Structure 1
Amino acid sequence: MRKKTEERRQAILDAAERVFQQVGFERASMAQICSEVGFSKATLYSYFNSKDELFFDVMMAAASAEFEATKSLLDHSSDDARAVLLAYGRQYLTVLYSPRVQAIRRLMATEGNRGDLGRRCFEFGPEKGQNIVAGYLKTLMDKGVLREARPLLLSQQLHSLLEAEWIEQFMFGVLGELSASQFAAATGDAVDTFLRAWRPA
């Protein structure tokens, strides 16, 4: 029974994601989502109390598993910080610039100013991720691999460097498909720049 419940919930999330991407949050209705998934309104509301709640869960479900797997690459026990950051950076960019996550980010940029929706998504997604990376960077500071600084600031700088080559193209909707070799090259440049800036003299 639990499996069937989870399958229904996922089916609703998948249908809602399609509808939100097709017409946007404002124009989307619970009735459209019901039609897309083939469930009654009663069934839909038994899983999600409102369109805002459904939208939030769509945002989080879209990439949470992939990002959690990415964060698991931050091996605090490894003595090779560059190798750890390279592995993390490549996977981070692979997830971030996948077609699905790009679509979700664009949708979030458009709809995030609705009430506290943007704040909730930021706290659950980017802010949580930045803090996890900050924890790893603090470990590197404690080992003497990096100079002492605010760990969260360094995390923000690292993520900015990783995206630096493509963020403006992404924002203006002119970014083409990216390859694994491009992710690897951009990660290498970003990590080396970051380490040159923050390793002890």
Structure 2
Amino acid sequence: MKKRSEAKREAIIEEAARAFRESGFDRTSMSDICARVGGSKATIYNYFASKEELFAEVVMRSTEASFQAAHHAITVSPADIGGSLRQFGERFLAFLYSPEVQATRHMAIAQSRHSAVGRLLYEHGVTRSHALVSGFLERAMEGGALKKGDPAVATLHLVSLLESELLDRFLYQLPGEVTAKEIEEATGRAVDVFMAAYGSAGGTKES
């Protein structure tokens, strides 16, 4: 029975993903998804409380591998704090400024005033990312690689610095791809500023 339930849940997610890709969030209804999956809407609501919750699951599934790859650099011991932050920053920005994630972020911002999509994606994505970064920075502070401080605040500073040169382009949806060279250079400058504020004179080396 459990296997059948899991299979049904996976089928719902797969069909929902196709529907959202083809018609977008606004033009896709739970009835549309139900018609694709078969059965009643009540069955879908047994697995997902709302279209917003289902959409958030679809997004997280589609970006999980990239999310994990982006955060891999901060799941290891912060022996080389500068190098780790540069590696993380480049992967993180490449993830955030990929076409798929940019489109999802734009949609979440647009929907956040009148649906729960923005909140759900924030909770499942941004909050999770910040927790991973904060844990890394806390370990670096405890190990003397960074000055002692509030790791949650330091995380906000780091993420803001990483996005500082690209955020306006994203918010105003200016045309043009964010290149790997731009990401590398923006990350280097952001980490330099972060280390100038948080770097410990007795800490480990930067790269």
When normalised by structure 1's length, the TM-score is 0.83
Contact 2:90/2:183 (<8 A) preserved: yes
Residues 54-102 of structure 1: CA deviation (Å, up to 9, x unaligned): 1221232232331122222114424211111111111101111000001
Q: How big is the shift at 1:192?
A: 1.0
The amino acid that maps onto 1:15 is R
Check 1:41–1:5 CA distance in 2 against 1; reply closer, same or farther (3 A cut). Answer: closer
Identity rate, percent: 33
Contact 2:13/2:54 (<8 A) preserved: no
Residues 10-48 of structure 1: CA deviation (Å, up to 9, x unaligned): 422421431463xx43x432244456xx43353872754
The amino acid that maps onto 2:14 is A
Partners of 2:56 and 2:95 in 1: CA distance: 19
Partners of 2:145 and 2:200 in 1: CA distance: 7
Check 1:78–1:133 CA distance in 2 against 1; reply closer, same or farther (3 A cut). Answer: closer
What value does the CA root-mean-square deviation take over the aligned residues? 2.5
Contact 1:19/1:32 (<8 A) preserved: no
Contact 1:130/1:152 (<8 A) preserved: yes
Partners of 1:178 and 1:116 in 2: CA distance: 29
- Secondary structure of the residue aligned to 2:145 is coil
Residues 87-133 of structure 1: CA deviation (Å, up to 9, x unaligned): 11111011110000011001110112345443332122101211210
Aligned to 1:18: 21
When normalised by structure 2's length, the TM-score is 0.81
Residues 20-99 of structure 1 aligned to structure 2 (within 5 Å): 21=24, 24-25=25-26, 27-33=27-33, 38-40=36-38, 42=40, 45=44, 48-99=48-99
Q: Give the paired residue count.
A: 196
Partners of 1:13 and 1:195 in 2: CA distance: 44
Partners of 1:52 and 1:10 in 2: CA distance: 12
Aligned to 1:157: 157
Check 1:125–1:82 CA distance in 2 against 1; reply closer, same or farther (3 A cut). Answer: same
